[in-house]
């Protein structure tokens, strides 16, 4: 359990010594935000807020391992990891959006659009199968991003309209959902969603690779750091010279592209694009991000926490499946309860830090 707390603890612990080294402070924006937290109580509060998800994940994982023999089998873990990969891609994008203080409710619909367009495109070759979904989904994100960043409309409403409109678009290109588009049986794209590499499912490798790439993008680049500034205080960020409109727009492009890519992978796994998938997927993604310790008010958040949040949701789902006698509806009940508990704890902890 202590290993779960370790990395975050080091990050927070080094802050008081940091002023001598400007580079360290500038890079660790999250830590910089928490600099006023000095007393041990406040430090523990900050630590818990950032690391609740990994700790709970370890506890729940141990519980599952000790209770169910089947849980730790290679096959089961591989399936859970693959299942989590698709949600992880969406949740990565959601983390970026939420760090800027926004929200993207359209990802569930964009996810379905990505899958359907991938199947349609794949019938004209693998390149079209790759570019059509990613391109169109990026355009959807661009449109939403422009309306939010340039026209100043609330992200919540714009992406709500996106949720409706994109789902309508999905049904429009599939004859009201009557057509199921299938990938050609020899399409190389199918390999993205199925099969294993070194014993681990390919979608899991993709999710891990993107975790590294996006993690670097969020914490080690000018663009990523500007997002924290925007989420913390948009007008101040503008005065600092951060290109607020451009960065905000790009965040929604990223979120939609990742959601479309996740949809493409799921479609490749099922070898067909199904129009009615992904309903409510945005809720799972937001829940994972929030459980992972990213503040919905913006300005703070980590991809690692999000990944832990995703895994936590999926492990809980797996446990409920393994119990077997429980109705699958319990899964959403447990997710909802987790969400409340985490949010309440977060709120109480952040209030404690402020005092």
Binding site for another protein (CB under 8 A): 103, 147, 151-154, 156-158, 160-165, 167-172, 176, 283-284, 286-287, 290, 296-297, 327, 329-337, 339-340, 343-344, 347-348, 351
Smallest gap from residue 206 Cβ to another protein (A): 26
* Distance in Å, CB of 340 to another protein, minimum: 4
- For the CB of residue 105, give the shortest distance to another protein in the complex, in Å: 9
**312 contact partners, CB below 8 Å, separation of at least 6:** 53, 56, 57, 60, 288, 291, 338
Q: What are phi and psi of 123, to 5 degrees?
A: -70, -15
- Residue closer to another protein, measured from CB, 130 or 342: 342
**Between 139 and 283, whose beta carbon lies closer to another protein?**
283
Measured CA to CA, the distance from residue 41 to residue 46 in angstroms comes to 9
Choose between 153 and 208: whose C-beta lies nearer to another protein.
Answer: 153
CB of 205 to another protein, least distance (A): 29
In the bound state with another protein, the residue whose beta carbon lies nearer, of 65 and 172, is: 172
Q: Which of 154, 119, 170, 129 is nearest to 252 (CA)?
A: 154
Report how far residue 116's alpha carbon sits from residue 103's, in angstroms, rounded to the nearest whole number: 24
For another protein, give the closer residue by CB, 187 or 346: 346
Q: Least Å distance between CB 344 and another protein?
A: 6
C-alpha 138/C-alpha 133 separation (Å) is 8
* Buried b / exposed e along 271-297 (16+ C-beta atoms within 10 A): bbbbbebbeebbbbbbbbbbbbbbbee
Smallest distance, another protein to C-beta of residue 244, A: 13
Pairing of strands 196-197, 200-201: antiparallel
By C-beta, is 44 or 296 nearer to another protein? 296
* CA 160/CA 13 separation, integer angstroms: 40
């Amino acid at each position: 359990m202590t290993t779960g707390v370790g990395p975050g603890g080091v990050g927070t612990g080094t802050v008081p010594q940091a002023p001598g080294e400007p580079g360290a402070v500038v890079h660790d924006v999250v830590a910089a935000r928490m600099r006023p937290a000095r007393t041990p109580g406040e430090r523990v509060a900050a630590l818990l807020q950032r690391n609740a998800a990994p700790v709970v994940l370890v506890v729940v994982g141990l519980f599952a391992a000790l209770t169910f023999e089947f849980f730790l089998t290679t096959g089961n873990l591989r399936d859970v990891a693959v299942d989590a990969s698709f949600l992880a891609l969406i949740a990565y994008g959601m983390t970026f959006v939420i760090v800027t203080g926004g929200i993207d409710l359209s990802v569930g619909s964009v996810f379905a659009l990505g899958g359907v367009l991938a199947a349609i495109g794949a019938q004209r070759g693998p390149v079209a199968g790759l570019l059509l979904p990613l391109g169109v989904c990026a355009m959807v994100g661009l449109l939403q991003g422009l309306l939010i960043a340039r026209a100043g409309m609330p992200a919540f409403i714009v992406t709500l309209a996106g949720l409706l409109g994109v789902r309508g678009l999905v049904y429009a290109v599939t004859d009201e959902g009557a057509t199921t588009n299938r990938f050609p049986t020899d399409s190389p794209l199918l390999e993205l969603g199925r099969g294993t590499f070194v014993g681990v499912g390919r979608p899991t490798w993709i999710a891990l690779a993107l975790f590294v790439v996006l993690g670097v993008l969020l914490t080690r680049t000018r663009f990523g750091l500007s997002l924290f500034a925007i989420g913390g205080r948009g007008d101040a960020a503008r005065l600092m010279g951060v290109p607020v409109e451009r960065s905000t727009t790009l965040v929604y492009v990223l979120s939609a592209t990742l959601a479309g890519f996740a949809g493409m992978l799921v479609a490749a796994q099922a070898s067909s694009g199904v129009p009615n998938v992904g309903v409510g997927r945005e809720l799972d993604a937001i829940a994972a991000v929030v459980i992972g310790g990213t503040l919905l008010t913006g300005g703070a958040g980590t991809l690692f926490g999000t990944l832990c949040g995703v895994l936590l949701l999926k492990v809980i789902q797996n446990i409920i499946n393994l119990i077997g006698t429980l109705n699958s509806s319990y899964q959403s009940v447990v997710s909802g309860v987790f969400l409340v508990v985490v949010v309440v704890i977060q709120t109480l902890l952040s209030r404690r830090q402020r005092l």
